[in-house]
Amino acid sequence: MAVRASRLKRVLGAVTATTLLAFVAACGGGDSDASASGGDVTLEFAQWWGAELPAGEFDKIISDFTAQNPNIKIKLLSAPYASTKQQLVTGAASKTLPDVVGLDGAWVSDFAKQGAITDLSKLMTDANYDSSQLASQVQLKGKTYMIPVVNFIYPLFVNKDLLAKAGVAKTPTTRSEFLDAAKKISATGGDVKGWALPLDTAVPNGVQNDVMSWLWASGGSMLADGKPALQTPAVKSTVEFVKSLNDANVIAPGSLTMKEQDKVEKFTQGQVGMMIDSLAHINLIKKNKPDLKFEVAAIPAEDGYTGKRGIPYASWGIGISNSTKHKAEAWKFVSYLMSQQTNSKLSTIANGFPGNKTSEPDFSTSDPMFKTAFDIYKEGTVANEFVGLPKSEDLMRSFDEQLQLVLTGKSSVDDALAKAQENWSSVIE
């Protein structure tokens, strides 16, 4: 579940060998000698956030913390997402993580099993911290290992002009309305299709964002008591719905090798009427196509469903190294980032939603669609069951492979789900 494009896409730019060596050299904890002698403590904080925020904004937030806590210094280790992931995976295996680490939910299970990240529940208890203010926590066996600091949701994007041209009066709110709208958009001619579905197995996050999102939108689950539950009526209905879209020929061509950025490009160029995508792409789309008229909405639910809509999300998560000698100071820094004022400020500049339930972004200077999306966020419930699962990307890939067999007529839905269930059960203990 990666932040792509400006936020969720995760900038995948190159990092020089010098930068990488500096990152590796820095990993391994802060200044333990200073702490032991009662002097200043330096916490190393590795993350990709600074690379995705407006220049200087993250530094201001860090400076405010050090001004309030002059005995704690923060050394930022900022790099693009891909490079940060590479270095943290290496550091987790060797128990040399920096004191504080930015986390993707997909890494948590493996890092925790390696003993690389610490139990935050104990630190919260020791600090008498009120955890009820947190919007969510990523837990394993009842222990918190990651706290989502900023959340980035994936709503439905709709091209209003294409909808109007197709004679569709309103944005779809149910699966049947979505299928009908997709058919009518596809019938307008040219190379326009109703929906885009990226299923490239090299980057299989389409399973999370574009497939399972239909399940979660209707209150469904792919797990039962933490174990795979892929042969349920809810999951089968979801796959059959995706198959019905494919059978109706309303999905943009090339989906089996399509990546998320390809989907966004097609929507931006008016070749796709609807897509499920990162909220962070609003500004990117408007920058590249200022005249495109579009809106965001909740993902359509199964016909007749009246409960809360689940909406997929990705997070800037945070954790603390198990090997740091400064856990108390590290927690003080984490709690600062999760405080009402700081969390509001950080979520505002990130164009995301706060991890503190009492915080609210400032929409006064942002696009009105962010406020619309925030209302969707508050009315529904964030849902991403891949967060915290072991080898979550491999799970997505194995499901992707089975789904592709269904869409190409080489497997039945039942057989594909049985095989996926078998694959997942070999990974999730």
* DSSP-derived 3-state class of residue 229: coil
pLDDT at 347: 93
Residue 29 confidence (pLDDT): 53
What is the per-residue pLDDT for 16? 35
Q: Name the average pLDDT for the chain.
A: 90
Domain 156-311: give its CATH code. Answer: 3.40.190.10
Q: pLDDT for 22-60, tens place per residue?
A: 444 445 555 544 444 356 999 999 999 988 888 899 999
pLDDT band at 231 (very low <50, low <70, confident <90, very high): very high
Residues of the chain with CATH 3.40.190.10: 17-153+315-382, 156-311
User: How many alpha carbons fall within 13 Å on the CB side of residue 383?
Assistant: 27
* Residue among 402, 384, 389 at smallest CA distance from 428: 389
Closest C-alpha among 373, 372, 337 to residue 120: 337
Task: Specify the pairing of strand 294-297 against strand 156-159.
Answer: antiparallel
The domain 17-153+315-382 having CATH identifier 3.40.190.10: the answer here is: yes
pLDDT digits (tens, 9 = 90+) for 153-178: 999 999 999 999 999 999 999 999 99
- For 90-116, the pLDDT digits (tens) are 999 999 999 999 999 889 999 999 999
Distance of CA 44 to the CA centre of its chain: 24
pTM of the model: 0.78
- What are the φ/ψ torsions at residue 90 (nearest 5 degrees)? -65, -45
Pairing of β 100-103 and β 72-78: unpaired
- H or E element at residue 140: strand 138-140
Q: What percent of the chain has pLDDT over 70?
A: 91
Provide the 3-class DSSP secondary structure of residue 7.
coil
CA torsion sign for 232, 376, 107, 277 is positive
Q: State the pLDDT at residue 80.
A: 87
Asked which of 37-46, 74-83, 218-227 is least confident by mean pLDDT, the reply is: 37-46
Q: What average pLDDT does the segment 59-75 reach?
A: 96
SS3 of residue 213 by DSSP = helix
| Window from 310-314, 330-334, 398-402 with minimum mean pLDDT | 310-314
C-beta pairs of 262-267 under 8 Å, 24+ apart in sequence = 262/196, 262/198, 263/196, 263/197, 263/198, 263/210, 264/5, 266/196, 267/157, 267/159, 267/196, 267/294
Q: What is the pLDDT of residue 197?
A: 98
